[in-house]
Amino acid sequence: MFRREGVRYGWPAGAAGHPFSTELQMPNFELISNHLCPYTQRAAIQLAEKGIAHERVYIDLANKPEWFLQLSPLGKVPLLRVGDVAIVETVVICEYIEEVEPAVPLHPVAPLDRARHRGWAEFASAIIADVFAFYMAPDAAAFERKGSDLHARFRWLERHLGDGPYFAGAWFCLVDAAFAPIFRLFDTFDRIGEFGIFKGLRRVPAYRAALAERASVRQVVVSDYSQRFRQYLTERGSHLSGLIQQGAGR
Ligand SMILES: N[C@@H](CCC(=O)N[C@@H](CS)C(=O)NCC(=O)O)C(=O)O
């Protein structure tokens, strides 16, 4: 076995306390993550929505433990351990979770709708990569460019959102679980400065606010998530790190 810092997550009264719960005979799930990963949050939100308790194991990605490297071919989180089996890649993990607990569906039923939702979840993954490029931009010009790229992404989302509150109306789905962690990143960016990413948008900010209120979204990060993310940004040596160090915002 390995040493780890584990936390048990679940609804207060176990699966039975969850509003949609059935009596679950689930295998033991361990979700390996670091404290900030937005991809991992997608799977953790999904588990919470389905009322599946799991253990969260946090690792330091700058110093990956040997046991983790033995399990993960790409050395990336999330990794879901189900007994002796290691499942990697967020999309694969989420599809697996969807299959083992179909009683609380987070995907639509019709194949065409499902395919459309899967495409949107992929789009969310692409935005996570864009956000990374934004906060790692080395200088003001690159930062500006990456900010415009992000603005274009959210303009696209704006055009396709309905009346809400969620992506597919009143029903919370996997696309929502994919976008919620992205918006959480912007809670920290907003405290640093106004970068115009959501400028002129109406539906996206409303969507962001609705997701931030969702219990599953709120519960999947550690209580000092914002401080940790800000600290992480400060240490990147990027243009944004410079803005934080100049004290632009708190
Ligand atoms: N395609 C992967 C991307 C996951 C990913 O990039 N995870 C980051 C943390 S948010 C990671 O593990 N980075 C460590 C590394 O690249 O060494 C997925 O969807 O699961």
> Does ligand 1 have an atom closer than 6 angstroms to the CB of 128?
no
* Per-residue confidence (pLDDT) for residue 5, from 0 to 100: 46
Q: What percent of the chain has pLDDT over 70?
A: 88
pLDDT score of 18 more than 50: no
* Per-residue confidence (pLDDT) for residue 27, from 0 to 100: 79
Q: Which of 31, 36, 37, 52 is catalytic?
A: 37
Distance 58 CA to ligand 1 centre (A): 14
Residue 30, helix vs strand vs coil: strand
Nearest CA to ligand 1 atom 13: 76
Indicate the helix (H) or strand (E) that contains 93.
helix 90-100
> Does ligand 1 have an atom closer than 6 angstroms to the CB of 43?
no
Distance 1 CA to ligand 1 centre (A): 24
pLDDT score of 25 more than 70: no
Nearest CA to ligand 1 atom 15: 76
Read off the tokens for 181.
């962690």
Tell me, yes or no, if 37 is annotated catalytic.
Answer: yes
Mean residue pLDDT across the chain: 91
Domains identified in the chain and CATH numbers? 1-106 (3.40.30.10), 111-249 (1.20.1050.10)
| Residue, of 235 and 247, whose pLDDT is higher | 235
> Does ligand 1 have an atom closer than 6 angstroms to the CB of 61?
yes
Across 11-15, 57-61, 163-167, 195-199, least confident range: 11-15
| Residue, of 52 and 8, whose pLDDT is higher | 52
Distance 71 CA to ligand 1 centre (A): 14
Paired residues of 58 in beta bridges: 5, 33
Residue 17 per-residue DSSP state = G
d(CA 82, CA 28): 6
pLDDT score of 9 more than 80: no
Does the pTM of the predicted model rise above 0.75? Answer: yes
Q: Which atom of ligand 1 is nearest to the CA of 77?
A: 12
- Residue 71: which region, alpha, beta or left (left: phi > 0; alpha: psi -120 to 50)? alpha
Distance 38 CA to ligand 1 centre (A): 9
Indicate the helix (H) or strand (E) that contains 111.
helix 111-136
> Does ligand 1 have an atom closer than 6 angstroms to the CB of 77?
yes
> Does ligand 1 have an atom closer than 6 angstroms to the CB of 31?
no
Read off the tokens for 33.
């993550």
d(CA 176, CA 178): 5
Distance 75 CA to ligand 1 centre (A): 8
Q: Which atom of ligand 1 is nearest to the CA of 93?
A: 20
CB-CB neighbours of 200 under 10 Å: 10
